[in-house]
Every structure is written in structure tokens, then in C-alpha cells.
């Protein structure tokens, strides 16, 4: 019996994960309040956890959850309407917003739009980046607070606090449950894409901790990106980001060895790259190109990733095209990190000395003073030029700067190899 109960419980949790974003989105439409919607959805889950193990899982579990939550939402709204009327009766309601009685039959017609509204709210600029990411994973990814905390390596109460505070801000600022007006759409989409890519990168190059990659975060970001691409099929940059993530994720299996040590792009066994993700990435990139318009920064980065994906080996790579794409990217999103990547590409296309010139200029500026990859790149270029003492010094500096244990081991190893040869 206990095993049966556990089985039903995990079945409920699976249904919950599949259904919760749509559930919360639909409920937010009824209540106009994302925080309340999220709580109502949680209530429905609690009821399911009580009833299903006893009565059995209903035939349409998603519909059951939606119906249960809807009833409670409508109750809530009715109570508010009545409260509203009461206030009106006592004549203190001049400012109070009147809530209309919801029509439960119309609620299923706008699921796509509702989900989109929910995504825009979770990534609303009144919230900080960390709050946006936590709220997005919670409400659209369907992750528990525990799972989000584990993924970001922060204590669970921190994430819980972050989510509570975010909901409070959204309520206090009365952020409406709407799709942004055409005039602000581009900025708001950009903000959503920023959150998704942040989640992806947190998984792809874990900035701290023992693991170099946390694939579950990458997978989460990919699913979010694909979802958004379906909801906003005409937005070039959404396709661009999906293409970029699919292409980068295609290398995950080849980026670490059996013990979890990182393997750099040049040393990866390309047969281990995921052909399905490459195919999907290239397809998304083609769709982005088809949509037209000037390429955005995600599309350009996807183009760069595509150059690697198409190449059978490092020498076979179109480094000149990559170097040129980094120039474009530098215009779209100027950053010393982009310039550093250009140094690498130029080093491959036109010789290590040319790449080193660019990297040395960066080293003369303060912007990347604490950035471990700058000395790592310089070390690599110096090693290629046979300036091994200088190279070793750079790798040691890189090892001292990184906060990722795996990366530190990698740089120390390179330093040691420079000393030996």
C-alpha cells in the first residue's frame, strides 16, 4: 500500500509539473493576481494529494486540477466582488477597482496568451534578475523551491524568500496581467530572453561549486526557450536564443570527462556532440534567418555556435567567419568578453600573435581584471608562440582567479604542462 501511495504521489507530482504553468496562468486571468493564482494552484495540488491516493487518479488529471482550482478562484473573486460592493455601500470605494464576475467557460480559450502574460510578469523589470529567474522557474518551469535552491546552490529559505518578496512587489506595484504594448514588446522580450539565458548559463558554466555543468538547468532553460518560441513565433531573437541554446547544449556530453573534469572545445570528441540538438539548433537558426530583420545578439552567437557545430575538427572550422561574427556581436553588445572571444578567433584565423595583440590590449584595461578567462586565453596564445614561461604565469593567474574548482584544476594542469616542456 505504501508503495502504491508513493507511486500515486509521484504521478501527481508529474501531472502537476506538466499542468502547473497553464494552471497558474489561467488562474491569474481570473484573479488578476499572480501571487494568489500560484497559491490557488498549490491548493489544488494539496487537494489532489489528499484525494487521489484514496479515490484513484482521475481520468483527466489536468482538467481535474484546473476545475478544482477554478472553483476556488471564482470563490475568491466573488468574495472580493462582495467586499468591493460592501465598500461601495459604505461609500469609501472611490478608488477601488471593480472586478467583473468571471465566466468559467471562457477560461480555456486563451491558454497561450495567458502563459505568455505569466512569463512577462515573472520577468517583469520591477523585479531583480535573481527574483525573475526564481519566479520563472517556479511558475513556468513548475520547479519546487527545493529544486530551484539546489540548482542555484543557495539555501532553500533564500529562494523561498526571493519568491515571496517578488510576489509582494508585483502586487504592491499592481503589475497588470497583460501582454506588453507593441512599443515596449521588444524590451520586455529581451528581458525574458535574458532570464532564460541566465538560467542556461548557470547550468552550462556553473560559476561556483564542484560541478562544471549542471545539465538540468540547461534542460530547463531549453524547455522555457522552446515554449517561448511557440508563443512568440514571429520574434527573431527568441528563435536566435533557442538556436544558441540547442547548439551549445549539443556539446554538453563532450564537455566533461568521466570524472567531471572539463574538456575544452578544441579537445572535445566531436562524435559525442548531440546530433539531434545540432539539427534542432540549425533549424531554429534557419527559422530566425527566415524571419528576417537585422540579426540580434543571440542570433549572431548562434551563428558562431553553428560554425563550430558544422566543423568536423578545429582546423576545419571557419575561424575567419567566427572572427567576423565577433565584430558584429561587438557592435550589437559591446563587451570586453566578446572582444576576448574575438582574440581567440583571430588567433586561430590569422595566427596566435594577432590574437595576442587583442588580448594584451584587454589586459591593459581594468574591465576584465578579475576575469579568469583573460589570463587563460593569453596563456593559451603565449603557449602557441612557445613563450612558455609567460604562458605558465598566465595559467597560474587564471587558476587563482576562478571560483570553480574544476576550472581551477584545468588551469593548474595547463600551467604544469608549460613548466615541464
Partner 1 sequence: MRYLMLLSGTNPATPPPPELFEAIMKLGAEATQAGVLLDTAGLLPSVAGARVGLADGKITVTDGPFTESKELISYALYDLRSKEEAVEWAARFVKLHRDLWAGWEGTTDILQVMGPDSFGS
CA angle 37, 38, 41 (to 5 degrees): 85
Please say which residue, 203 or 295, places its beta carbon nearer to partner 1.
Answer: 203
> Which of 222, 300, 343, 374 is close enough to bind partner 1 by CB under 8 A?
222
35 binds partner 1 (CB under 8 A): no
> Pick from 48, 134, 213, 247: which binds partner 1 (CB under 8 A)?
213
SS3 262: strand
Q: Which of 280, 387, 406, 414 binds partner 1 (CB under 8 A)?
A: 280
Stretch that binds partner 1, among 30-38, 216-224, 331-339, 347-355 (CB under 8 A): 216-224
Binding to partner 1 in span 78-117, by CB under 8 A: 112
Cα–Cα distance between 78 and 389 in angstroms, integer?
75
Q: Does 276 bind partner 1 (CB under 8 A)?
A: yes
Give the single-character DSSP code of 310: H
Q: How far apart are CA 222 and CA 228, in angstroms?
A: 10
Query: In terms of CB distance, is 52 or 395 closer to partner 1?
Result: 52
Report the helix count and the strand count for the chain, using DSSP H and E.
18, 0
Which stretch in 33-41, 165-173, 227-235, 396-404 sits in contact with partner 1 by CB under 8 A?
227-235
| CA 168 vs CA 20, 154, 174, 214, 401: distances in Å | 20, 21, 10, 30, 38
Write the Ramachandran bin of 386: left for phi over 0, alpha for psi from -120 to 50, otherwise beta.
left
- The stretch near partner 1 (CB under 8 A) out of 9-17, 297-305, 341-349, 350-358 is 9-17
Taking the complex as a whole, how short is the minimal distance between the CB of residue 272 and partner 1, in angstroms? 9
Q: According to the binding rule CB under 8 A, does residue 153 interact with partner 1?
A: no
Among residues 107, 118, 135, 224, which is the contact residue for partner 1, using CB under 8 A? 224
> H or E segment at 139?
helix 129-139
Is residue 299 within 8 A of residue 285, CB to CB? The reply is yes
Among 125, 157, 230, 293, binds partner 1 (CB under 8 A): 230
| Of 196, 280, 177, the residue nearest 237 (C-alpha) | 196
Binding status of residue 126 toward partner 1 by CB under 8 A: no
Looking at the Cβ atoms of 219 and 328, the one nearer to partner 1 is: 219
- What the block records as the C-alpha cell of 255 is 564537455
14 is a site residue for partner 1 (CB under 8 A)? yes
- Taking the least distance from each CB to partner 1, the nearer of 74 and 241 is 241
Which are the contacts of 61, defined by CB distance < 8 A and separation ≥ 6?
12, 15, 19, 48, 52
Q: 302 CB contacts (<8 Å, ≥6 apart)?
A: 240, 241, 243, 244, 247, 281, 284, 285, 288
Cα–Cα distance for residue pair 55/411, rounded to 1 Å: 58
User: What is the DSSP code (8-state) at residue 256?
Assistant: B
**Cell (9 digits) for 31:** 484573479
User: Which residue from 58, 180, 194, 215 is in contact with partner 1, where contact means CB under 8 A?
Assistant: 215
Retrieve residue 104's grid coordinates.
468559467
Sign of CA dihedral 86, 91, 92, 95: positive
- 297 near partner 1 (CB under 8 A): no
Q: Is 270 in the site for partner 1 (CB under 8 A)?
A: no
Interaction pattern, residues 156-195, with partner 1; x per rule: CB under 8 A: ----------------------------------------
With CB under 8 A, what is the number of residues at the site for partner 1? 27
Using the rule CB under 8 A, which residue among 51, 256, 335, 350 binds partner 1? 256
Residues 6+ apart with CB under 8 A from 321: 307
Asked if residues 386 and 404 have their Cβ atoms less than 8 Å apart, the reply is no
User: In this complex, which beta carbon is closest to partner 1, that of residue 227 or of residue 348?
Assistant: 227
Residue 2 interacting with partner 1 (CB under 8 A): no
Residues 173 and 127: beta-carbon distance below 8 Å:
no
Restricted to residues 40-59, the positions that interact with partner 1 (CB under 8 A) are: 59
User: Which of residues 58, 253, 336, 351 is near partner 1 by CB under 8 A?
Assistant: 253
Measured from the CB of residue 179, what is the shortest distance to partner 1 in angstroms? 17
Instruction: Give the residue with the Cβ less far from partner 1, 112 or 128.
Output: 112
Cα 38 to Cα 33, 131, 145: the distances in Å are: 9, 15, 13
Between 10 and 403, name the residue whose CB sits nearer to partner 1: 10
Could you say whether residue 219 binds partner 1 (CB under 8 A)? yes
Binding site for partner 1 (CB under 8 A): 10-11, 13-15, 17-18, 59, 61, 112, 213, 215-216, 219, 222-227, 230-231, 252-253, 256, 276, 280
Amino acid at each position: 500500500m505504501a508503495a502504491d501511495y508513493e507511486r500515486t504521489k509521484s504521478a501527481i507530482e508529474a501531472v502537476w509539473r506538466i499542468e502547473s504553468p497553464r494552471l497558474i496562468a489561467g488562474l491569474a486571468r481570473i484573479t488578476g493576481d499572480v501571487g494568489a493564482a500560484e497559491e490557488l494552484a498549490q491548493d489544488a495540488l494539496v487537494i489532489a494529494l489528499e484525494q487521489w491516493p484514496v479515490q484513484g487518479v482521475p481520468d483527466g488529471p489536468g482538467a481535474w486540477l484546473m476545475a478544482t482550482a477554478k472553483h476556488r478562484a471564482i470563490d475568491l473573486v466573488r468574495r472580493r466582488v462582495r467586499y468591493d460592493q460592501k465598500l461601495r455601500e459604505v461609500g469609501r470605494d472611490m478608488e477601488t477597482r471593480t472586478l467583473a464576475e468571471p465566466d468559467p467557460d471562457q477560461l480555456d480559450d486563451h491558454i497561450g496568451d495567458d502563459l505568455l502574460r505569466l512569463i512577462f510578469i515573472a520577468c517583469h523589470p520591477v523585479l531583480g534578475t535573481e527574483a525573475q529567474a526564481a519566479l520563472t522557474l517556479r511558475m513556468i518551469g513548475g520547479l519546487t523551491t527545493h529544486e530551484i535552491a539546489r540548482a542555484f546552490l543557495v539555501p532553500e529559505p533564500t529562494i523561498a524568500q526571493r519568491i515571496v518578496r517578488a510576489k509582494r512587489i508585483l502586487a504592491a506595484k499592481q503589475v497588470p496581467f497583460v501582454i506588453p504594448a507593441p512599443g515596449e514588446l521588444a524590451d520586455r522580450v529581451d528581458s525574458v530572453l535574458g532570464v532564460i539565458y541566465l538560467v542556461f548559463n548557470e547550468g552550462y558554466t556553473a560559476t561556483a561549486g564542484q560541478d562544471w555543468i549542471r545539465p538540468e538547468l540547461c534542460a530547463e532553460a531549453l524547455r522555457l526557450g522552446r515554449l517561448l518560441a511557440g508563443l512568440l513565433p514571429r520574434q527573431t531573437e527568441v528563435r536566435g536564443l533557442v538556436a544558441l541554446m540547442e547548439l551549445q547544449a549539443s556539446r554538453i556530453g563532450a564537455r566533461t570527462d568521466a570524472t567531471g573534469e572539463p574538456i575544452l572545445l578544441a579537445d572535445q570528441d566531436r562524435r559525442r556532440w548531440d546530433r539531434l540538438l545540432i539539427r534542432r539548433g540549425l533549424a531554429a537558426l534557419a527559422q530566425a534567418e527566415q524571419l528576417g530583420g537585422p540579426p540580434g545578439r543571440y542570433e549572431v552567437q548562434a551563428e558562431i555556435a553553428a560554425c563550430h557545430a558544422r566543423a568536423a575538427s578545429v582546423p576545419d572550422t571557419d575561424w575567419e567567419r567566427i572572427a567576423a561574427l565577433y565584430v558584429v556581436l561587438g557592435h550589437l553588445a559591446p563587451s570586453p568578453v566578446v572582444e576576448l572571444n574575438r582574440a581567440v578567433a583571430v588567433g586561430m584565423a590569422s595566427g596566435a600573435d594577432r590574437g595576442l595583440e587583442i588580448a594584451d590590449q584587454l589586459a591593459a584595461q581594468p574591465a576584465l581584471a578579475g576575469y579568469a578567462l583573460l589570463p587563460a586565453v593569453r596563456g593559451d596564445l603565449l603557449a602557441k608562440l612557445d613563450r612558455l614561461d609567460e604562458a605558465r604565469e598566465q595559467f597560474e593567474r587564471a587558476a587563482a582567479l576562478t571560483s570553480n574548482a574544476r576550472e581551477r584544476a584545468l588551469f593548474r594542469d595547463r600551467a604544469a604542462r608549460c613548466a615541464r616542456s
